[in-house]
Amino acid sequence: MFDDLRQYINWLSDKNLLTVVDKKVSSELEITEIVSRMIESGGPTLMFNNVDGNKIPVVANLFGSEIKVSNALGISNLNELYDKSNDVISLIDKEITSFKDKMNLLSNLFHMRQIKPRLVKKAPCHELIYDPEEFNLSHLPALKSWPSDGGKYLTSAMVISKNPINNKRNVGMYRIQIIDELNAIMHWQSYKGGSQNENHAKDLGITKIPVAIVLGCDPVSMWSASAPMPPDIDEFMLAGFLRSKPIELVNCFSIDMQVPAHSEIVLEGEVHLDDYRDEGPFGDHTGFYSPIAKYPTFKLKKITMKKAPLFPVITVGKPIKEDYYLGKASERFMLPILKKITSEIVDVNMPAEGIFHNFIIVSINKKYHGQAKKIMHTIWGLGLLSLTKIVIVVDKWVDIHDLSEVFWRVGVNIDPNRDLMITQGPADDLDHSSEFYRYSGKLGIDATEKIEGEPRVREWPDEIKMNKEIIELVDNNWGNYGFEKINE
C-alpha cells in the first residue's frame, strides 16, 4: 500500500508500467491527446518532466484502467472492494458461530481501528512553504484540456471543506478553473459535499469558508475523494479503512483545516460565497462542453509542498476515460451498502456510456408484482443515485455486465405500454438535455419476467436452453468431429 503518490509512481516504474517523457510538451491540449490515446490503448502511466518548461512533473493516466485503479488501491481486482465493504456491513448482523467467524470479526475490528486519521506535527507537504507573492496558482503546470475550454484547470483536485454546523470534514474531487495568480473557481456541483457545506454556511450568514485543495497524495485517498460517500462521512476514514493504516493529517498554516501529511502540493485558502464568477466552458466527462455557469471563488492564502512535488492530472472527455474506472471502483464498494438498504437488489452496473447518472442497470431477486417499479423509486430516492436518468431493471439471472444480454432482455421482455415508467426529479448539473437546469424527466424500464399479478395475457414462455447431456456429449466429441478447439 502506498503512502504517497511518489511511492506509487516508483512502484509503477519498477514494474515497467511508467513511461517518463522528457521532451518538452505543452500544457495546452497536447497532454490530453497523448493521455487519451494511452487510455484507449491500455498504455502506461505517464510522467511529463517538462511541461512548458515547468520544473514540476505532471503525472497522468494514474487510474486509466481497472488494473491501474486496482494497483493504486493496493488490491488485485475491483471485486475486493465489494468484499471489504461487505465484511464491514456483515459485522452489523452476522451471527458468530465458528472459530473462523471469530477470527474474521477480530480482523475486521482491527481494520476498523485504522480508520481514524492520525494528526502529526511534521509533514513532507510542509517542506516548502510559500506566500502567494512568492509562488501562486500561475506557477502550477495546470492544463487546458480541450480546444474550447475556458482556461486552465486543476483536474485532479481533492477539495477539503467543513460543515460549519458540526465541523465534520468533506473531501470531494472537483475541477477548479484558474482565473489568475490568486483566484480560482470552485466547481462543486449542487448535491455534492462541498456545495452542501456552502449552503450550511449561507444559512448561518457566513460569507467565506476555509478550503484546502490537495494536489496528489496517497492514491487511496485520491480515489476516496471521488467516492459518493453519504454527507458527514469522512473520506479519510474510508481511505484509512481500505489501507488498513490511518491517514496522517497535518494542520494547515493559514486556515483551520487538516490535510494529508504526504500531499504533494496543498493550496490553502477560502471560498468566498459572495463572489460568484463564470466557470467554463469545460470539455467534460459527458463528452460535451459544459456551458458557462456561476460558481464561487477560491482565494489563495498559502501554498505548501514537498521539495520535489508531482502534479497529478485526470483527463475527462467522451467515455471511456479515467473517471469511468474510478467510478467503477465506487460502484463495487457501494454495492453492499445498497444491498443492505434494499436486499432485493442483486447487482448493479453503471456502464461507461452512461457516465454514472444516465444509465443504471439493476438486477433483482423478483418475488412480487410491481417490484421492479419499487426498485426504480428506490434508486431515484438515494443520494447521488437520485440523479439517474434511466433505470433498467432485470431479473437476477441476467449478467448485467454483458450489455448485449441486457439489450436482448429489454427488447424481448418489455411491452412499452406497461413496462415504462416516466417520472421527474433532480438532474445532474452537467445534463445538457434536460428541459430545465438541474431538473429532468426519468425513465424506468422494467425488463423483468412478468409474474402472477402483473398484467399479461399470454403465459411467459421458457427461455431456450440446450440439455446438459447434449452439451457434455458435444464437448467430449468435439475433436472427433474433426473440429479445432474453439477459443472461448
Ligand X SMILES: Cc1cc2nc3c(=O)[nH]c(=O)nc-3n(C[C@H](O)[C@H](O)[C@H](O)COP(=O)(O)O)c2cc1C
Q: Which residues are catalytic?
A: 284
Site string for ligand X, 172-191 (x = CB under 6 A): xxxx-----------xxx--
- Residue 197 or 413 with smaller CB distance to ligand X: 197
**298 scored as a contact of ligand X (CB under 6 A):** no
| Burial of 304 per CB tally in 10 Å (0-12, 13-18, 19+) | buried
DSSP lists the bridge partners of residue 186 as 176
| Residue ranges in 371-400 that form contacts with ligand X under rule CB under 6 A | none
Question: Contact with ligand X (CB under 6 A): which of 56, 75, 209, 229?
Answer: 229
Rounded-to-integer distance, Cα 115 and Cα 123, Å: 19
H or E stretch covering 370: none
Residue corresponding to grid cell 408484482? 369
Question: Contact with ligand X (CB under 6 A): which of 47, 179, 313, 314?
Answer: 314
Q: How many helical (H) and strand (E) elements, i.e. helices and strands, does the chain have?
A: 13, 23
- DSSP 8-state code for residue 2: -
Q: Which three cell numbers stand for residue 83?
A: 468484499
286-298 burial by CB neighbour count: b if 16+ within 10 A, else e?
beebbeebebbbb
Least separation in angstroms between residue 434's CB and ligand X is: 17
The bridge status of strand 169-173 relative to strand 248-251 is unpaired
Amino acid 472 reads: E
Confirm if 222 and 262 have CB atoms less than 8 A apart: no
The residue sitting closest to ligand X, measured at its beta carbon, is 172
| Burial of 220 per CB tally in 10 Å (0-12, 13-18, 19+) | buried
Site string for ligand X, 114-153 (x = CB under 6 A): ----------------------------------------
- Residue 170 or 448 with smaller CB distance to ligand X: 170
Site size toward ligand X, by CB under 6 A = 19
- DSSP 8-state code for residue 420: E
Rounded-to-integer distance, Cα 264 and Cα 245, Å: 19
| Residue ranges in 318-347 that form contacts with ligand X under rule CB under 6 A | 323, 326
Least separation in angstroms between residue 47's CB and ligand X is: 18
- Residue 35 or 393 with smaller CB distance to ligand X: 35
- Residue 321 or 450 with smaller CB distance to ligand X: 321
Q: Which stretch binds ligand X (CB under 6 A): 25-33, 168-176, 253-261, 469-477?
A: 168-176
Least separation in angstroms between residue 331's CB and ligand X is: 12
| Residue ranges in 189-228 that form contacts with ligand X under rule CB under 6 A | 189, 192-194, 226-228
Binding site for ligand X (CB under 6 A): 170, 172-175, 187-189, 192-194, 226-229, 314, 316, 323, 326
